[in-house]
Amino acid sequence: MKQFIIFVKKEFYHVLRDRKTLLILFGMPVMQILIFGFALTNEVKNSKIAILDNSKDMISQQIIDKISASNYFDIEKTVSNNQQIESAFKEGKIKLAVIFSENFNHNLLHQNKAQLQIIADATDPNTANTLTNYVSAIIFDYQTQLNKTTTLPFNITTEVKMLYNPQLKGVYNFVPGVMAMVLMLVSVMMTAISIVKEKETGTMEILLVSPFKPALVILSKAVPYLFLSLVNVASILLLSVYVLDLPITGSIVLLFAESVLFIITCLTLGIFISIKTNSQQVAMLISLMGMLLPTMMFSGFMFPIENMPVPLQVISNIIPAKWFYIIVKAIMIKGLGFSAIWKETLILGGITLFFFVLSLKSFKIRLE
């Protein structure tokens, strides 16, 4: 028994002296609780909305004030016509719009009924449903307060319009998210593993001393996965259209061009991981854990980014899948052109260039 206690003490000493082990034991749970606690929530807060007040009277302003006071909404802008609302939806600046009819106050006081319209961006049907329910609840609460002071009940009716996805099909949100996730995992993981495999077998040194330039050797390993990933894109789109009944309203050529850019981004990430690792197991672990979790958490596919604290929202900007997810939704579902997504394309291109330069520098250092 004494020997057993001695071995236990020895093991404790080993664990306590190893900072990496302590970081995994105590640092990782704390980080996971903090990140998952803030990021993994389907509750919708601080959603940007627009208000079109055609009435501009006391009651409409009171309702606007109640909506503004809610933690669920952040009034992005007060618009003056329907065209501005349409532009705001296309640019992705708002997720919901509330439109008051003319003579709202007069109709409610003299006819005991008035109407307003709620328009929601239904490319994410769950969020659209939640937001319309929140607004409807606020309006109903205001209506209940009014009815306490009158003998004849007031009736405020809401007309709900779901933009881009009237039937609220989940596939409209599911396909762009899965498309980003599949391309990210396949491109990054397969590229990283294929190059590291050459290291493990010892053939990478032979390739590097061949007449070809070392950089071209590395790039040649990634090119096949570019074309194979494009086959994945084509298969996903075919299944979406003919099996899941999801129409592609925008340009297919533009969609494929943006997919090529995203795949190249993922390939550069895979090359960078392969340069930094020396075994297939480590490369696979980093590809899965380092790409899967950030893609799921910070792309906006599963959890609304606006709900997260500001530091996590900043981190989400370096996740390539976030920008590709926005691009795919804009082209496939909203039917927008390059003029609406050039900013996202530029950011995605910048991330690609950054990792390409970083990979090139790391590769030169390894050669030296």
pLDDT digits (tens, 9 = 90+) for 224-259: 888 888 888 899 899 888 888 888 888 999 999 999
Q: Are 74 and 49 in contact (CB under 8 A)?
A: yes
Cβ neighbours of residue 170 closer than 8 Å, sequence gap 6 or more: 125, 126
> What proportion of the chain, given as a percentage, has pLDDT over 90?
7
Torsion from C-alpha of 329, 332, 338, 339, nearest 10 degrees: -60
Highest mean pLDDT (candidates 111-115, 137-141, 354-358): 137-141
Residue in the structure block whose two tokens are 């050669």: 367
Residue 346 has pLDDT above 90, yes or no: yes
Q: Which residue has the higher pLDDT, 28 or 271?
A: 271
Q: Are 263 and 226 in contact (CB under 8 A)?
A: yes
Distance CA 315, CA 298 (A): 8
**pTM of this prediction?**
0.83
Residue type, 108: L
- Least confident range of 272-276, 315-319, 340-344: 272-276
Closest by alpha carbon to 60, among 52, 72, 71?
Answer: 52
Q: What is the pLDDT of residue 258?
A: 92
Q: Are strands 155-163 and 96-100 parallel, antiparallel or unpaired?
A: unpaired
Distance CA 196, CA 321 (A): 24
Q: Which residue has the higher pLDDT, 80 or 175?
A: 175
Residue type, 183: L
In angstroms, the Cα distances linking 84 to 51, 52, 81 are 10, 9, 6
Residue in the structure block whose two tokens are 């590097």: 208
SS (H, E, C) 303-361: CCHHHCCHHHHHHHCCCHHHHHHHHHHHHHCCCCCHHHHHHHHHHHHHHHHHHHHHHHH
Into which CATH architecture does domain 47-146 fall? Answer: 3-Layer(aba) Sandwich (3.40)
The two structure tokens encoding residue 283 = 């490369």
Question: Residue-wise over 172-204: b if at least 16 C-beta within 10 A, else e?
Answer: bbebbbebbbbbbbbbbbbbbbbbbbbbeeeeb
Distance CA 225, CA 220 (A): 10
- List, as one string, the DSSP characters of 264-312: HHHHHHHHHHHHH-SSHHHHHHHHHHHHHHHHHHHSSSSS-GGGS-HHH
| Sign, CA torsion 62/64/65/69 | positive
Distance CA 200, CA 277 (A): 11
Q: Report domain extents, the chain.
A: 11-40+170-362, 47-146
How is the chain split among helix, strand and coil, in percent rounded to 5? 70, 10, 20
Rg (CA), the chain: 27
Q: Are 159 and 114 in contact (CB under 8 A)?
A: no
Tens of pLDDT, residues 3-53: 777 767 777 777 677 776 666 666 667 776 766 666 666 667 778 888 888
Q: In the predicted model, what is the mean pLDDT of the chain?
A: 81
Q: Are strands 96-100 and 113-121 parallel, antiparallel or unpaired?
A: antiparallel
* Helix or strand run (H / E) with residue 137: helix 125-147
| Sign, CA torsion 271/275/276/277 | positive
Residue type, 129: N
Residue 368 has pLDDT above 60, yes or no: no
Closest by alpha carbon to 111, among 154, 61, 157, 53?
Answer: 154
Distance CA 47, CA 345 (A): 24
3-state secondary structure of 200: helix
- What is the number of other CB atoms lying within 10 angstroms of the CB of residue 320? 26
Cβ neighbours of residue 329 closer than 8 Å, sequence gap 6 or more: 123, 173, 176
Residue type, 160: V
